Structure 1
Amino acid sequence: MHRVTFKTISIPFVSLCCIFSNTAQADDAAELAKKLSNPVADVINMPFQLNYDQNIGPAENIERYQLNIQPVIPIKLNDDWNVISRTVLPVIYQQYDGMNKDDDWGVGDITQSFFFTPTPKSPDGLILGFGPVIYLPTASEKVFGPDQYGLGPTAVIAKQTNGWTVGALANHIWAVEKKDGDEGINNTFLQPFINYTTPTSVTYSLNTESTYDWNTDDYTIPVNLSATKIVKIEKQLISVGAGVRYWAHDTDSSPKDFGVRLIASFIFPK
């Protein structure tokens, strides 16, 4: 008669803890990535967005490196409302090929937006935000800005479901102060977007950043495709990624063809 024996397989408790901990961290990172896809999410973050564009100007002989510093700061007003501060400060380096002209570098004009957003979301799950946008003439070089103050409305609407975020952000800026003989700012900005976040916190994004100048009837349509992922360095969470841009419609003064974008966003969850 043969005796049957059963071996007991033991898994160390520490290993189990590591498995569940890693899974929980991945889930947390994915949820955080979904929040970052929402332009008015209640998350403090500091994005640094480096853009490279070429073939700028009528002669297509200008190259530009532009680092957009874009802090996002949510402020709780009460149990029903938040206000989200979104700032865009460009730092620009511009090269001129075949021209007897020194390179230009410095800061551009600041665009400051405030979005009032209801909490919780609307019953149908729509994400809404609206408020003022302020244009500040902080450019260190004349070539980087029109030297005018501007003001106007801004709004965002979005919907999130099953990892997808679909929506649009828009603003319009009018000049409130201008020098004699200069045309005042009169621009509309429209950014429709669609993002998909995977369970591993990778987010694929497709958007356009269209601008229409009502003074000249000119408009630009750069189409951006990018991918980002949340990583942890020491104790700091960072969303890092890259993308490409194609100028589907350009003007004499705008970039043309293709560009590149690098992204690093420092995240400070509550």
Structure 2
Amino acid sequence: MKCTTGLLRHLFLLAALLLFPVAAHGESNEALAKKLANPVANMISVPIQINFDDNRGPNKDGERWTTNIQPVIPVELSEEWNLISRTIIPIIHQDAVNPGTGGQSGVGDLVQSFFFSPAAPTETGWIWGAGPVFLLPTGSNDSITADKWGLGPTGVALKQAGPWTFGGLFNHVWSFAGNDDRDGINATYLQPFVAYTTPEAWTFALNTESTYDWKNHYSTIPINLTASKMTEIMGQKISVGAGIRQWLDSPENGPKGTGFRFTFTFIFPK
């Protein structure tokens, strides 16, 4: 019942976003789907990613819904260079994760990345971008915030060949300020990915979103398998998808077993 209630709450929020008025666009759904597989494509998009994981907490009876709102906004700096802004705003609802505290809901910590990326691929077809990443302690509840300010480098490299997109994204964050009573942050994030896009604008993707905590010496490693379809609803280009994840490793109180992911990405081509 808790799973159903949480999903309905998040789907209601997503349904409201469909009311945004937009103009019609000329690019094919297949072309847009391939652009969407590129994290530094010169295209405005608003991915909304809903994740459900359970078996959390010391008693393994906790669950968490995390809705990541991830606007991607490119800025043309010149004919040769773009600046890609990628923001992750997590909205979290969890139950029984911390024994004796019940459930908590609120906004988590914001992650802001900037990628300076060449407007054209290299001679060998590689697309890349690099820049800074910032962690902001915007969490509205003590149980869903690190309560630390952080920064570090981030980068992405990928290649698109026919229907295939493959590459990887990374960042490393060190904390430099914040609540002295909280552990410092020294963490590496790695996201290798591969995706296949069909002429019918289906995209099948496989990735990991691994984090290694250098301070506490543990890994968080989920494997994600998703399928998505580019379509149009009320004149709005949107990619809708779903998938599963399997946790290969996580800290003692972290998620275990199988989780689920639902994605809704609003596309605003030029």
Q: Same fold (TM over 0.5)?
A: yes
Q: 1:213 is matched with which residue? A: 213
Measured after TM superposition, the shift of residue 119 of structure 1 is: 1.5
| Deviations 1:137-190 (CA, angstroms, capped at 9, x unpaired) | 000011111101000000000010011000000000000103335331100000
SS at match of 1:66: strand
Structure 1 Cα separation of the partners of residues 174 and 26 of structure 2: 44
Cα pair distance change 1:124/1:38, threshold 3 Å: same
Give me the CA root mean square deviation: 1.6
**Shift, 1:249, TM fit:** 1.1
Structure 1 gaps of 5+ residues are 1-24
Give the distance between the partners of 1:169 and 1:192, measured in 2 at CA. 6
Distance, in Å, in 1 between the alignment partners of 2:113 and 2:93 is 24
| TM-score, with structure 2 as normaliser | 0.88
Alignment of 1:214-253 (within 5 A): 214-253=214-253
Deviates more, 1:223-232 or 1:173-182: 173-182
1:122 counterpart residue number: 122
Q: Distance in 2 between matches of 1:98 and 1:145?
A: 14
Q: How does 1:1-270 map to 2 (within 5 A)?
A: 28-96=28-96, 99-270=99-270
Aligned length: 246
4+ runs of 1 displaced by more than 4 Å? Answer: none
Distance 2:140 2:98 in 1: 24
Cα offset, 1:26, TM superposition: 10
In 1, Cα distance between the equivalents of 2:100 and 2:153? 41
Q: Within 2, Cα distance between the matches of 1:97 and 1:152?
A: 29
CA distance in 2, matches of 1:129, 1:100: 45
Task: Give the fraction of aligned pairs with identical amino acids, expressed as a percent.
Answer: 49
**Residue 29 of structure 1, CA deviation:** 0.7
Question: 1-side partners of 2:183 and 2:98: how far apart?
Answer: 30
Aligned partner of residue 38 in structure 2, secondary structure: coil
2:57 touches 2:96 (CA, 8 Å); kept in 1? no
Separation (CA, whole Å) in 1 of partners of 2:51 and 2:269: 26
Partner of 1:3: none
Distance 1:85 1:214 in 2: 27
- Show structure 2 runs of 5+ residues with no match: 1-24
**Separation in 1, partners of 2:239, 2:181:** 45
Deviations 1:177-222 (A, max 9, x none): 0333533110000000000000000000000000000001100110
Q: Computing the radius of gyration over CA atoms, which structure comes out larger, 1 or 2?
A: 1
TM-score by length of 1: 0.88
- For 1:240 and 1:162, the matched residues in 2 are separated by 22
Q: Structure 2 CA distance, aligned partners of 1:99 and 1:147? A: 21
What secondary structure sits across from 1:193 in the alignment? strand
